[in-house]
A and B are shown apart, each in its own frame.
Chain A
């Protein structure tokens, strides 16, 4: 199997506070995890690539000081939205790459976390 979980599934926070979202690969080790943001009726936009034991690689336009990513183990990556504002309200989805021995790596997605900032 290839199961990825996220916690929490939804969260409401006040403007200016920080929120941490966890992404876990439950039955495999993931050297690489990805964080996406999806606004209503829009596509998935990659925010950053998280590599275990090293700094995350952020996509252009994504503020690394606002979206802190930590990938401290082979099964856990966290995304912290710091000083959240209403415009950060979105559906955040993580995915994990299963290191099968092939050059093509499938990604397995978590169930997503809906963040609402009031």
Chain B
């Protein structure tokens, strides 16, 4: 089955700096890669996703890049703000009728003033 590794497990940045979280996956058939933000005790919220037919996607301060050859994808947050502090999870799926998500281990992002 799919295995998703995520690094780093914790990340502390100063407000205004950029944050990068990286994930690798094992299943070459995976073609859907969402990123979720989860605050303590809350549900995961989809912040951005990327399909395998593109290499990069951007939404305001958030961007995701995908390298299918190397089987890794990354989340980039620019101009970080204190409200970006949360746990971020990457995930991978084959899409289609299965659409089972395999999650990474999570990154705890702390944005300090």
- Please indicate whether A and B come from the same complex rather than being unrelated chains: yes
Residues of B within 8 Å of A79, CB to CB, are none
Q: Kindly state the interface size class of chain A when it binds its partner.
A: 20 to 34
Q: Is A107 an interface residue (CB 8 A)?
A: yes
Flag if A106 contacts B44 (CB, 8 Å).
no
Q: Is A111 an interface residue (CB 8 A)?
A: yes
Query: What is the minimal beta-carbon distance from A26 to any residue of chain B, in angstroms?
Result: 14
Assembly CA distance A67 to B54 (angstroms): 39
Assembly CA distance A32 to B95 (angstroms): 13
User: How many inter-chain residue pairs (CB < 8 Å) link A and B?
Assistant: 51
Q: A93-B43, A109-B44 are in contact. Are A104 and B51 (CB under 8 A)?
A: yes
0/1 interface trace, chain B 83-113, chain A, CB 8 Å (1 if under):
0000001000101100111111110000000
0/1 interface trace, chain A 75-118, chain B, CB 8 Å (1 if under):
00000000000000001010001000001111111111010000
Q: Is A42 an interface residue (CB 8 A)?
A: yes
Q: A43-B105, A46-B101 are in contact. Are A112 and B42 (CB under 8 A)?
A: yes
Q: List 17 A-B contacts (CB under 8 A).
A: A34-B101, A42-B105, A43-B103, A43-B104, A43-B105, A43-B106, A46-B101, A91-B41, A103-B95, A103-B96, A104-B31, A104-B32, A104-B96, A105-B99, A109-B36, A112-B43, A114-B41
